[in-house]
């Protein structure tokens, strides 16, 4: 999940933060075939967590998540540029952040189409954040 109004979590009091997360969760549940209990991973707007925000998220049963690839698509550099930026940074286990709607990425659908084909051709597989958490819990072989 992410912030519903994209307000920095660091600027919200606990009540506002909880409302922001609950509003986001309701919107996702209405739009997607998921249960609210599945929505526990939270990526903060602008990547800003504070110790207090992290404490509250954990207290409420959320897992904080960050990214490892951010191609700055919100500045509209063009699909080819965004794709190349991702390809230059991606590696196994990468979390790629792309934007749609008001905060960027008007070309996000076409960007994703190109990325999926190209990354699969390079041998990458796609998974969920839950998959990454699960793999992180397994002891190394």
For 11-70, what is each residue's pLDDT tens digit?
A: 999 999 999 999 999 999 999 999 999 999 999 988 888 999 999 999 999 999 999 999
Q: Which stretches does DSSP call E strand in the chain?
A: 41-42, 63-64
Do residue 81 and residue 115 come from a single domain? yes
What is the domain range of residue 97?
Answer: 73-135
Query: In total, how many domains does the chain have?
Result: 2
Is the CB of residue 62 less than 8 Å from the CB of residue 40? yes
Euclidean distance between CA atoms 79 and 24, whole angstroms: 28
Give the tokens for residue 78. 């063009």
Residue 49 domain-assigned (yes or no):
yes
Do residue 81 and residue 59 come from a single domain? no
Q: Which helix (H) or strand (E) holds 14?
A: helix 14-31
Looking at residue 134, its pLDDT comes to 82
Residue 34 domain-assigned (yes or no):
yes
Is residue 107 predicted with pLDDT exceeding 80?
yes
Looking at residue 29, its pLDDT comes to 95
Do residue 78 and residue 131 come from a single domain? yes
Is residue 97 predicted with pLDDT exceeding 70?
yes
């Amino acid at each position: 999940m992410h912030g519903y109004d994209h307000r920095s979590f660091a600027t919200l009091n606990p009540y506002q933060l909880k409302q922001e997360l609950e509003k986001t969760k309701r919107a996702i549940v209405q739009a997607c075939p998921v249960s609210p209990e599945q929505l526990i991973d939270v990526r903060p707007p602008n990547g800003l967590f504070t110790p207090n925000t992290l404490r509250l998220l954990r207290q409420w049963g959320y897992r904080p998540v960050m990214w490892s690839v951010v191609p700055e698509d919100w500045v509209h550099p063009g699909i080819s540029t965004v794709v190349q930026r991702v390809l230059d940074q991606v590696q196994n286990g990468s979390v790629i952040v792309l934007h749609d709607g008001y905060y960027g990425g008007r070309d996000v659908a076409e960007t994703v189409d190109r990325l999926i084909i190209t990354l699969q051709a390079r041998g990458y597989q796609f998974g969920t954040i839950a998959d990454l958490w699960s793999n992180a819990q397994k002891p190394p072989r």
